[in-house]
């Protein structure tokens, strides 16, 4: 079981733009099970022993009656996945980070064509205060945390439903559902810890871009004119950051959906095997 831990879009994005160190030499070639073991404790090993016995019982046919998976079930799961993904993507799209920055600067979203402040964002923007009126990372951070909570809630519900469908299918899929449920609980704390670092890393990127902007502005003649709202228009540092911020959210969404996609792929593979 080999995998490249640097292949996720979220990891690449943070490495390129937030200055996250790359993997140690030879890290990509390390065995997946070896790296996973570093996430588990001795208590987890005991739990896995119990799960192993449960999987053996399912393999012996002592679980729920086996029901062959169907194309209709797979189509329904895919439809549900796209519904959840679409709902979360619309939530991300509704957050116009450039509008947040412009409102924090006191310009108001109506002053910039095509920009609007999403409902509920004013309570974050109103707390933003920085000499010079260019905003801080506070509004971005609060909204990022809100989006993370929504992703966690909706995807956890989706994943549980997919497991339920697998648990009513063949013994192989019942085993997979049981293993996924156990692993989900065991690595949840580690997952939350790692994903909790994304927003602080984006804040580092925010500070980098702001410092570069301030250095560039300091190098200009004292009487150099700056168009109002230039930072939030294409080419401006806040406009560029808002795009990176949203890209990180989209990349994180795909990372969170990977276990669900994997379960569904296994379900589809079982259908193909039965057809062959």
Model confidence at 267, pLDDT cuts 50, 70, 90, reads: very high
Model confidence at 37, pLDDT cuts 50, 70, 90, reads: low
Domain that holds residue 212: 9-275
In the chain, what percentage of residues exceed pLDDT 70?
66
Q: What average pLDDT does range 246-275 have in this prediction? A: 92
pLDDT reported for residue 150: 94
How many folded domains does the chain comprise?
Answer: 1
4 lies in some domain: no
145 lies in some domain: yes
Higher pLDDT, 68 or 84: 84
Q: What average pLDDT does range 190-218 have in this prediction? A: 90
pLDDT exceeds cutoff 50 at 134: no
214 lies in some domain: yes
Across 3-7, 169-173, 209-213, 252-256, the highest mean pLDDT is recorded for 252-256
266 lies in some domain: yes
Model confidence at 30, pLDDT cuts 50, 70, 90, reads: low
For the chain, give the mean pLDDT: 75
What is residue 136's three-state secondary structure? coil
1 lies in some domain: no
Rounded Cα distance, 221 and 218, in Å: 8
42 lies in some domain: yes
164 lies in some domain: yes
Model confidence at 24, pLDDT cuts 50, 70, 90, reads: very low
Q: Using alpha carbons, select from 142, 256, 122, 258 the residue that is nearest to residue 202.
A: 142
Place of tokens 């099970």: 33
pLDDT reported for residue 120: 42
Place of tokens 């999987």: 55
User: How many CA atoms does the CB half-sphere of 185 hold within 13 Å?
Assistant: 12
Q: Using alpha carbons, select from 158, 148, 139, 13 the residue that is nearest to residue 81.
A: 158
Model confidence at 66, pLDDT cuts 50, 70, 90, reads: confident
115 lies in some domain: yes
Burial class of residue 195, CB neighbours in 10 A (0-12, 13-18, 19+)? middle
Higher pLDDT, 203 or 53: 203
pLDDT exceeds cutoff 70 at 1: no
pLDDT reported for residue 189: 85
Rounded Cα distance, 204 and 4, in Å: 26
Across 46-50, 76-80, 192-196, the highest mean pLDDT is recorded for 76-80
Total-model pTM = 0.76
pLDDT exceeds cutoff 60 at 131: no
User: How many CA atoms does the CB half-sphere of 87 hold within 13 Å?
Assistant: 11
pLDDT exceeds cutoff 90 at 243: no
């Amino acid at each position: 079981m080999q995998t490249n831990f640097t292949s996720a879009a979220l990891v690449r994005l943070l490495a390129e733009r937030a200055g996250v160190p790359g993997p140690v030499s030879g890290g990509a070639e390390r065995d997946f099970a070896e790296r996973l073991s570093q996430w588990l404790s001795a208590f987890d090993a005991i739990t896995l022993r119990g799960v192993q016995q449960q999987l053996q019982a399912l393999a012996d046919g002592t679980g729920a009656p086996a029901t062959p998976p169907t194309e209709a079930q797979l189509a329904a799961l895919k439809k549900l996945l796209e519904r959840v993904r679409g709902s979360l993507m619309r939530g991300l799209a509704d957050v116009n980070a450039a509008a947040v920055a412009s409102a924090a600067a006191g310009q108001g979203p109506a002053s910039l064509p095509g920009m609007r402040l999403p409902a509920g964002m004013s309570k974050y923007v109103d707390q933003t205060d920085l000499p010079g009126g260019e905003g801080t990372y506070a509004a971005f951070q609060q909204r990022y945390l809100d989006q993370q909570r929504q992703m966690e809630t909706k995807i956890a519900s989706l994943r549980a439903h997919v497991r339920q469908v697998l648990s009513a299918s063949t013994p192989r899929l019942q085993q997979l559902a049981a293993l996924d449920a156990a692993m989900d609980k065991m690595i949840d704390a580690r997952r939350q810890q790692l994903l909790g670092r994304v927003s602080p890393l984006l804040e580092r990127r925010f500070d980098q871009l702001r410092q570069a902007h301030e250095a560039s502005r300091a190098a200009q003649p004292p009487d150099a004119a700056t168009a109002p709202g230039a930072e939030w228009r294409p080419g401006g540092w806040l406009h560029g950051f808002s795009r990176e911020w949203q890209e990180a959210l989209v990349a994180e969404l795909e990372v969170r959906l990977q276990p669900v996609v994997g379960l569904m792929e296994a379900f589809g593979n079982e259908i193909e095997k039965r057809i062959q």
